[in-house]
Structure 1
Amino acid sequence: MASQTEYNPDNHVNDNASDHMAKEKAGVTMIESIEDSGALDTIEETKPGAFVWLCAAATAIGGLLFGYDTGVISGVLVVLGDDLGGREVTDSQKEAITALCAAGALVGAVIAGITSDKYGRKPAIWFASVLFTLGAIIQATSYTVAQMLVGRFAIGLGVGSASTIVPLYIAEISPARFRGRMISVDMIFLATGSVLAYAFDAAFYTVNHGWRYMIGVGAVPSIILGILLFWCPESPRQLMFHGKREQCESVIRSIYVNATEQQIAEKMISIEYGVNSSKALNEEISLKKSLSMLFTIPANLRAGIAACGLMFFQQFCGFNTLMYYSSTLFDIVGFSNPIAVGTVVAGVNWIFTFLSIFIIDRVGRRRLLLWTMWGMPVCLVLAAIAFNWVPIDHRTLELTSDEVGWPAYLVLVAMILFVAFYAAGLGCVPWQANEFLPMEVRAMGTMMINVFNWGPNIVVSSTFLTMMKNITPSGTFGFYAALCTIGWIFVFFCFPECAQMTLEEVRRVFQHGFGVKYAEQWRKDYKKGQTARNATADAQKV
């Protein structure tokens, strides 16, 4: 499909002027001629091989560990008792244990973002698998709060590295038409990790010191991840970035197994042009300059705002308070087996995350968000109303009655519906937003996305119990409902639809403001072009 926009020098930092600009324009002309031929569109329409799906599934074990290690703490907090130092763990210590994982993840995300371009995506994922293993061992053998905090921070480093690089790696190996579904594999594994965490929490709930087994089990999938990585290739764009053209072509052939030689050749030209443009910039600029490019180049800034903003609202919608404190929450409202009840919520999260994989590329990210995010504040308001009728001492968060009444069941229903709305949209889409970022700032931009993920996560995890006491449960849920509403408005105005675009095409969207209208027009033109090509193909058959 022909490009609808001329080259815009604002997309690059070029202090050296005309010679480099001439090369850039020549490169854009070449890419546009390839687009005119339809080659880039037709290769994306070919069926990918099983190999790329297996690579996505293997690396998505990092997502499973993310879900497991953030979800398992919900049951651990309920049964810790006095195992750490001989004293009951206080609410402030519980918040610290929970928040240290998010703090470690923030640091891990920054480290992964800084190093993954230089050393590649695979080493960062290997680094995460080692940290997952060490963190699980340190926590499972803890006998003091301090050791537990060290273990939580170590596991957080792994979570941060995996959450930064795994979606990025999958995005870079995925065909454009299947990118949303392949990245959703990571989200399914993440949700699966949460379900497994609650399942093992429930299994060891009545076992003496069972929390040690809950945590220790997490070392097993991290070892499996480290082994499977030996069979996964480096991202083709990273191989091209490091001058390994033959290896890059080999990976492209393994991804697009049904592509013609012409399609492979022109895909290589497209990747090589995009990578070389980014490489030329990276050779001229420092790490500091790369970071500044996110803020000083208008198109990059808008892409960063859209991606980071959505991640911000993913955290401040309140979902992770359920993942971290659901067992505590259901204990507060009076359920006798709060971990089992929490498992139901985790199961709903898995079901709707799984369903999203089949509709995200067909419906589109933007439409999916607009269809689901409106329900989240409604459910939170419903829970806030129900909490007004739950007999709780707000100073201690303990029930003043042993009876589990209708308000407790209403809270449960509201939370189940909230999780369903979340998992179908906001739970998976933000992790795909790194596709908004040009390659020269993609790793750094993904790092920033994770900063906006884990920064708010630290706030949420370290303040939830305190907020429940200080502004009441109803006030806490009302606060998150208001933020969910603001998030829906943000998506409406600032989040464009980039489904079916190649990563090279996505970079043009934010040259047109936040690109919402431009992206809609692109999709219309794409469908027209696809219809025309199909008609031509049918005519040739006749």
Structure 2
Amino acid sequence: MASEVSDPEQPKLSFFERILKKDGRSSSQDDMDGAREPLVTVVADRRAEDYSRCAAILPFLFPALGGLLYGYDIGATSGASVSLESAELSGTTWYNLSSIELGVVVSGSVYGALIGSIVAFNVADFLGRRRELIVSSTLYIIGALITALAPDFAILVIGRLVYGVGIGLTMHAAPMYIAETAPMQIRGLLISLKECFIVLGMLLGYTIGSLEVDLVGGWRYMYATSIPLSIIMFIGMLWLPASPRWLLLCAMQNRDNTEEFKNRAVCAFCKIRGQPIDIVASEHISEMLVDLSFMEEEKQASFREVFQGKCLKALIIGCGVVFFQQVTGQPSVLYYAATILQTAGFTAASESTRVSILLGFLKLIATGVAVLVVDKVGRRPLLITGVTGIIVSLFMLAGYYLLLKDIPFVAVIALLLYVSCYQLSFGPIGWLLISEIFPLRLRGRGLSIAVLVNFGANALVTFAFSPLRELLGAGILFAGFGVIAILSLIFIIIYVPETKGLTLEEIEAKIL
């Protein structure tokens, strides 16, 4: 908080005091001490204000491309795993991969994402959301090139790891950047729409896979296709400004050139909202500073603080949701969609990958429904409804493999039900919640832990699925996922709060 004015003849107002004074409030210390509730009221009254959806497009679009590239990797890998194991189509002499080797290829990007999440924990607050996304787009380009040109199995795995590090950084920084730059009224829509981009990426990957799976060495083309999109993301993030909230956090932590950070925050906010500085300063920026003005002298968060107080509660909620997001079988259904469909009677490689496109379209439709209603219906109802459907679909898959193998359409229906319910619930809501619930000072580190848990669980399920399927059988394995899904539903009902209609600062103050 700003200190008292020592020289009444030459008053030196802080940045926050200047903003408040433009709103017609006194800049004195006494008024600052009692300004919190009136300012909250003013911000609440401004919620009906007009905001530019057009101006919000680019700050959303380029970070969301990182999600699209993540989804593309999932879809392309579904086809690439079929191509790699084919003696006629792989174009290699090392096509005869064991189940463990195939698991390493499929989950290689997930393990890379784990590494990226660890890196993000240590450097994210220093780099900022924008520069982290620039680095991730660079890693996408390098990883895709290495993978597409890999002369042997070892280099292929290295390329998958490098690409995966880019995924880890993207899925850490993109939700934060979108959440911190989006107008409160459409924050849920935009972050959920990022999940739409992930699904679009999957659909693109499934489509490219179906077109190129019959080519010799088709898996190389599948992975190389991501390079142009990675370049577009790189250029777009170079153009966008840094997150205004991150710049204000830098200012509050008493770094060098504090005033410069504050001024840059205002300019970045203006560029993102597409309005002149004088309008933004007087009409919008106080919304972002409701609670920040009382944290101006806060120091940088310590490692211990991440596991205390508000952040600990946010960690329990966020890590719990993303953990259950993965261990209810999502990686298995997505990465092994083509393989599962082959066991259901779609024996030709091209036939199974084309049916995967149907899954992609269904995911896109279901995600679109979630995007349209998330800010109206809320987060909890979508989670509860979707996870209930996931439970039903997993037990249907278990029933097919255990009892109904002569009725293959049961597996197809179960897959369609699973992906649609997942996209109504865990898919968009998981990433939305972890981008909303962490306090600003701890958001970078807290979200990196949640992303680490997400990809850790993803890597475990993805790698273990193939060996466990051989050991236990697919029926028992999917029944186990169904039991875990029941536990996830209980967790959601007990622990997950509703965050719709609240600013990030209000979520921190009122819910946590």
| TM norm structure 1 | 0.82
Q: Cα distance 1:140–1:25, how it changes in 2: closer, same or farther (>3 A)?
A: farther
Inter-partner Cα distance in structure 2 for 1:75 and 1:358: 31
Q: CA deviation at 1:276?
A: 6.0
Picking from 42, 57, 78, the partner of 1:53 is: 57
Inter-partner Cα distance in structure 2 for 1:239 and 1:201: 42
Q: CA deviation at 1:45?
A: 4.0
Inter-partner Cα distance in structure 1 for 2:355 and 2:432: 30
Inter-partner Cα distance in structure 2 for 1:126 and 1:263: 27
Quick check: 1:376 aligned with 2:390? yes
- 1:536 alignment counterpart: none
Q: CA deviation at 1:256?
A: 4.8
Deviations 1:312-341 (A, max 9, x none): 111111112111111111122321321111
- 2:13 alignment counterpart: none
Specify the code of the residue in structure 1 equivalent to 2:116: G
- 2:345 alignment counterpart: 334
Inter-partner Cα distance in structure 1 for 2:455 and 2:33: 37
Matches within 5 A, 1:527-542: none
RMSD (CA atoms): 2.4
Which blocks of at least 5 consecutive residues in structure 2 are unaligned?
Answer: 1-27, 251-257
Q: CA deviation at 1:296?
A: 2.2
Which region of structure 1 is more displaced relative to structure 2, 334-343 or 128-137?
334-343
Answer yes or no: is the 8 Å Cα contact 1:24–1:277 preserved in 2: no
Quick check: 1:187 aligned with 2:195? yes
Specify the code of the residue in structure 2 equivalent to 1:187: E
Answer yes or no: is the 8 Å Cα contact 1:310–1:430 preserved in 2: yes
Quick check: 1:363 aligned with 2:377? yes
Answer yes or no: is the 8 Å Cα contact 1:84–1:145 preserved in 2: no
Which region of structure 1 is more displaced relative to structure 2, 195-204 or 267-276?
267-276
Inter-partner Cα distance in structure 1 for 2:377 and 2:276: 26
Specify the code of the residue in structure 1 equivalent to 2:230: S
> What SS class does the counterpart of residue 281 from structure 1 fall into?
coil
Which region of structure 1 is more displaced relative to structure 2, 252-261 or 109-118?
252-261
Inter-partner Cα distance in structure 2 for 1:384 and 1:465: 16
Matches within 5 A, 1:474-493: 474-493=475-494
Answer yes or no: is the 8 Å Cα contact 1:72–1:215 preserved in 2: yes
Q: Cα distance 1:26–1:68, how it changes in 2: closer, same or farther (>3 A)?
A: farther
Specify the code of the residue in structure 1 equivalent to 2:202: S
Deviations 1:71-99 (A, max 9, x none): 21111111113545434111110111122
Picking from 334, 354, 370, the partner of 1:323 is: 334
- 1:494 alignment counterpart: 495
Matches within 5 A, 1:52-201: 52-80=56-84, 81=86, 83-201=91-209
Answer yes or no: is the 8 Å Cα contact 2:400–2:410 preserved in 1: yes
Which blocks of at least 5 consecutive residues in structure 1 are unaligned?
Answer: 1-22, 392-404, 512-542
- 2:312 alignment counterpart: 301
Q: Cα distance 1:103–1:26, how it changes in 2: closer, same or farther (>3 A)?
A: farther
Which region of structure 1 is more displaced relative to structure 2, 186-195 or 500-509?
500-509
Q: Cα distance 1:28–1:486, how it changes in 2: closer, same or farther (>3 A)?
A: farther
Specify the code of the residue in structure 2 equivalent to 1:124: E
Answer yes or no: is the 8 Å Cα contact 1:300–1:510 preserved in 2: no
Inter-partner Cα distance in structure 1 for 2:159 and 2:165: 10
Q: Percent identity?
A: 26
Q: CA deviation at 1:158?
A: 0.4
Q: Cα distance 1:471–1:497, how it changes in 2: closer, same or farther (>3 A)?
A: same
Q: Cα distance 1:27–1:454, how it changes in 2: closer, same or farther (>3 A)?
A: farther
> What SS class does the counterpart of residue 143 from structure 1 fall into?
coil
Quick check: 1:241 aligned with 2:241? no
Inter-partner Cα distance in structure 2 for 1:99 and 1:86: 18
- 1:31 alignment counterpart: 36
> What SS class does the counterpart of residue 374 from structure 1 fall into?
helix
Deviations 1:208-245 (A, max 9, x none): 11111111101110011011123312111122233422
Deviations 1:484-513 (A, max 9, x none): 1111111111011111111111112344xx
Deviations 1:448-483 (A, max 9, x none): 110110110111011101121111111111011111
Answer yes or no: is the 8 Å Cα contact 1:125–1:166 preserved in 2: yes
Count matched residues: 468
Inter-partner Cα distance in structure 2 for 1:59 and 1:157: 16
Answer yes or no: is the 8 Å Cα contact 1:307–1:449 preserved in 2: yes
Picking from 364, 368, 376, the partner of 1:350 is: 364
Q: Cα distance 1:41–1:372, how it changes in 2: closer, same or farther (>3 A)?
A: farther
Specify the code of the residue in structure 2 equivalent to 1:48: S
